[in-house]
Amino acid sequence: MCPTNIGGLEDPRLKPPARDLSRLGCERVLIFVAEKDHLNVVGKNYYEELKRSGWQGSVEIVENFGEDHCFHLHNPNYSKAVELTNTFVTFIKEH
């Protein structure tokens, strides 16, 4: 995600310190992860760290089992891609 990344998944440009998460300026976060995605653990860790950070908002995580990174872009008519899109649209429309 960052061409000059030398810290791997721990690079602070990809993983902000948990103390900074408590000041997140929104009320809700929706995180999508895909089971076979090499960034799956990053999304799950972000979810857990956000919950522990003291942030006062609500966070939800949706895991797409059996899927890989960006699966929804390769075939947007695929049932799981449609479901992901609908979940995202519903999330946006709620506020």
How does pLDDT run across 22-55, given as a tens digit for each residue?
888 999 999 999 999 999 999 999 999 999 999 9
Query: Tokens 């899109």 sit at which residue?
Result: 85
How sure is the predictor about 83, in pLDDT bands with cuts at 50, 70 and 90?
very high
Give the percent of the chain with pLDDT over 90: 72
Nearest 5°: the CA angle 5, 50, 12 is 15
Closest C-alpha to 48, from 57, 61, 35: 61
Entry pTM: 0.82
Please give the average per-residue pLDDT across 4-31, as a whole number.
79
Is pLDDT at 15 greater than 80 in this prediction? no
**Residue for token pair 């760290």:** 49
